[in-house]
């Protein structure tokens, strides 16, 4: 059985959590390979699926909001793996496991890479201190500073939890370094390395036995024919290399991230599923050519509840950008697309879709990879006819109004990729398998 990647192909928040959770119904393992608590998953599913033995008649749904655990690990038979490419905030991980265990009625089964780096309390403080002079508008979770320590070869890994003395020495060294850079910071001065080490060891007491060589674990699972799903965080246009740099996150959100962040050869991936919203959103600063600042964009935000899961910030809203999606399709080698939130477009007379950009007299078909080139571009829209019917009861492609079907087929044709899943609401059941 092949590996399956589920990747965001816009600016994150495409609804990967729901899609990954759905795809993992038949998987033995769900792997996160990049990012950390900057990601936010929202998954809604019926209570009947939550606890084995609970009455099937029981109605109602539960909503899960979380940041670190792979969405697939909410299924009882699916093991969650936090890969080496992640940056893990140990207190957040412990709290998230507690919260999910209570809500699910059982503890999610997880393994954690001993080579994953940790976000420690000084990272978000440093990020905020630097933020005063930066326009990047990050989630302020310490992601950039933690990846920076990793690349500078002074990072602290989860494996260091197994050697308390070494851990204390590393924390002391790194904390002292930040305190020296920001001598006026009361927040940094208030941190004591010895106390911090003890707190981290106490908070992670229950998860230290779950540290392992996850690359070995994942490859063995694949060797045995077990279905393994790799869940991307953020999206293609936030990728550190291929996104709209520097308005990006600090990790690889594209297919290459699976290789470096999980230790799995790309040859082992047979299905690469891109997840795209039927329109577009971006949270945080940076280029967004199809952004609509008119009341129509506002309407998308309200209909689509476009507020960040992690920070609560309102998301910038706009229209589907096929130039950017072609770029993401090419970079990731997508062979499937999951289209989410199609229901949010109900009620629009026509739906603009960017087919190309115009830069002066030049028509640009390929997504420009520098900010300067992007800055001179204007989207060239084609307007597709809308529909007025609500979609939340549609359960098959044929149930969709004709113009909604056309919209989906149009995207498929433009991208040369099959749309295999259409999501028409937040719930597990609001899904059309095409």
Residues known to be catalytic: 13, 41
The Cα 90–Cα 294 span in angstroms is 42
**CB-nearer residue toward ligand IMP: 141 or 150:** 141
Q: Are 4 and 70 in contact (CB under 8 A)?
A: no
Q: Are 165 and 172 in contact (CB under 8 A)?
A: no
Closest approach of ligand IMP to the CB of residue 244, in Å: 10
Closest approach of ligand IMP to the CB of residue 402, in Å: 33
Residue 238 lies near ligand IMP (rule: CB under 6 A) = yes
**CB-nearer residue toward ligand IMP: 12 or 426:** 12
Residue 37 lies near ligand IMP (rule: CB under 6 A) = no
Residue 291 CB contacts under 8 Å (≥ 6 apart), including other chains: 280, 282, 297, 316, 317, 318
How many residues of this chain interact with ligand IMP, rule: CB under 6 A? Answer: 19
**CB-nearer residue toward ligand IMP: 13 or 149:** 13
Residues 141-180 contacting ligand IMP, CB under 6 A:
141, 143-144
Binder among 6, 39, 273, 278 for ligand IMP (CB under 6 A):
39
Structure tokens, 358: 């115009």
Whole-Å CA distances, 127 to 93, 142, 171, 250, 261: 20, 6, 17, 13, 23
Closest approach of ligand IMP to the CB of residue 67, in Å: 9
Binder among 155, 284, 352, 368 for ligand IMP (CB under 6 A):
284
Residue 389 lies near ligand IMP (rule: CB under 6 A) = no
**CB-nearer residue toward ligand IMP: 28 or 96:** 96
H/E run at residue 124 = helix 122-131
Binder among 10, 34, 38, 214 for ligand IMP (CB under 6 A):
38
Binder among 137, 291, 389, 412 for ligand IMP (CB under 6 A):
137
Residue 249 lies near ligand IMP (rule: CB under 6 A) = yes
Closest approach of ligand IMP to the CB of residue 172, in Å: 26
Q: The tokens 């059985």 sit on which residue?
A: 1
The Cα 19–Cα 427 span in angstroms is 11
Q: What residue ranges in 256-399 does DSSP mark as E strands?
A: 269-277, 280-282, 316-318, 320-321, 336-340, 350-359, 362-364, 378-385
Q: Are 90 and 37 in contact (CB under 8 A)?
A: no
- The site for ligand IMP (CB under 6 A) is made up of 11-13, 38-40, 137-139, 141, 143-144, 233-234, 238, 249-250, 283-284
């Amino acid at each position: 059985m092949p590996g399956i990647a589920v990747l965001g192909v816009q600016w994150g928040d495409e609804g990967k959590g729901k899609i990954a959770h759905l795809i993992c119904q038949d998987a033995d393992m769900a792997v996160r390979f990049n990012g950390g608590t900057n990601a936010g998953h929202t998954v809604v599913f019926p209570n009947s699926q939550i606890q084995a033995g609970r009455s099937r008649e029981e109605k109602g749904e539960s909503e899960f909001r979380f940041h670190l655990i792979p969405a697939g690990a909410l299924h009882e038979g699916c093991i969650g793996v936090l890969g080496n490419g992640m940056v893990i905030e140990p207190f957040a991980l412990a709290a998230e496991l507690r919260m999910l265990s209570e809500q699910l009625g059982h503890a999610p089964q997880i393994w954690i890479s001993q080579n994953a780096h940790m976000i420690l309390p000084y990272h978000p403080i440093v990020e905020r201190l630097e933020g005063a002079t930066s326009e990047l508008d990050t989630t302020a979770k310490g992601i950039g500073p933690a990846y920076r320590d990793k690349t500078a070869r002074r990072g602290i890994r989860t494996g260091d939890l197994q050697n308390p003395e070494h851990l204390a020495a590393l924390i002391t060294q790194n904390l002292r370094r930040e305190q020296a850079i920001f001598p006026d910071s009361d927040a940094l001065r208030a941190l004591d390395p010895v106390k911090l080490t003890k707190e981290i060891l106490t908070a992670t007491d229950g998860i230290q036995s779950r540290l392992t060589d996850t690359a070995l674990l994942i490859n063995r699972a694949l060797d045995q024919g077990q279905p393994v799903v790799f869940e991307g965080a953020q999206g293609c246009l936030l990728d550190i290399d291929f996104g709209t740099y520097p308005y990006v996150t600090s990790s690889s959100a594209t297919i290459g991230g699976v290789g470096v962040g999980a230790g799995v050869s790309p040859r082992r991936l047979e299905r690469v599923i891109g997840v795209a919203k039927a329109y577009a959103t971006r949270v945080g600063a940076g280029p967004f050519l199809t952004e609509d600042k008119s009341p129509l964009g506002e309407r998308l935000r309200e209909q689509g509840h476009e507020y960040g899961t992690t920070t609560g910030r309102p998301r910038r809203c706009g229209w589907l950008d096929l130039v950017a999606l072609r770029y993401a399709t090419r970079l990731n080698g997508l062979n499937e697309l999951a289209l989410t939130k199609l229901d949010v477009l109900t009620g629009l007379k026509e739906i603009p879709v960017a087919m190309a950009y115009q830069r002066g007299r030049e028509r640009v078909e390929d997504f420009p990879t520098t900010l300067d080139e992007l800055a001179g571009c204007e989207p060239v829209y084609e307007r597709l006819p809308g529909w007025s019917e609500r979609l939340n009861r549609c359960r098959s492609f044929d149930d969709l109004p004709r113009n909604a079907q056309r919209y989906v087929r149009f995207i498929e044709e433009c991208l040369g990729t099959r749309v295999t899943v259409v999501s028409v609401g937040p719930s597990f059941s609001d899904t059309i398998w095409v």
